[in-house]
Amino acid sequence: MNFMKNVLGVAVTVLMFACGSSHAFEGSYRGVSGKVGIYTMSTMTIKKNSDGSTYTVAFKGEESLTYDDATAQKGKIQISDKGFVFDIQFDGKKAIVDPADGKAIFEKVGK
């Protein structure tokens, strides 16, 4: 009986993590350091699109940049812009944008 409870507990935990993990990206972030491409950005916002499989990522700062078709892949978001591909990697409340030109660090605001 205890074995079944443990298996059920693990299954529920895995399911909750799998369902909630895509929403972990969503939210508002404040810029801590670095640049996105050549621009210093003060905020980043990530929202899941209505198609359920892509995200809109918006940066605001020296310039405003918006990417409408970012994809989630293995715990990160990947952005492709005219052949230039870069990732946003997540570590707790920290998001690291790692384009070829350097790194920008953002911190999630709120939940």
Band of pLDDT at residue 18, cut at 50, 70 and 90: very low
CA distance 111 to 86: 25
Strands (E), the chain: 27-34, 41-48, 54-61, 64-73, 76-81, 84-91, 94-97, 104-109
Q: Give the class (CATH, top level) of 2-109.
A: mainly beta
Per-residue confidence (pLDDT) for residue 83, from 0 to 100: 84
Per-residue confidence (pLDDT) for residue 79, from 0 to 100: 94
DSSP element (H, E) containing 64: strand 64-73
**Mean per-residue pLDDT, 31-50:** 94
Q: Answer yes or no: is pLDDT of 8 > 60.
A: no
10: amino acid identity, one letter: V
Q: Where are the alpha helices (DSSP H) in the chain?
A: 2-24
- Each residue's pLDDT tens digit, 63-96: 999 999 999 988 899 999 888 889 999 999 999 9
Q: Parallel, antiparallel, or unpaired: how do β-strands 94-97 and 84-91 relate?
A: antiparallel
**What ranges do the domains of the chain cover?**
2-109
Per-residue confidence (pLDDT) for residue 47, from 0 to 100: 97
Q: 83 or 14: which carries more pLDDT confidence?
A: 83
Exposure string for 75-96, b = 16+ CB within 10 A, e = fewer: ebbebeeeeeebbbebeeeebb
> What would the two tokens of residue 63 be?
């310039």
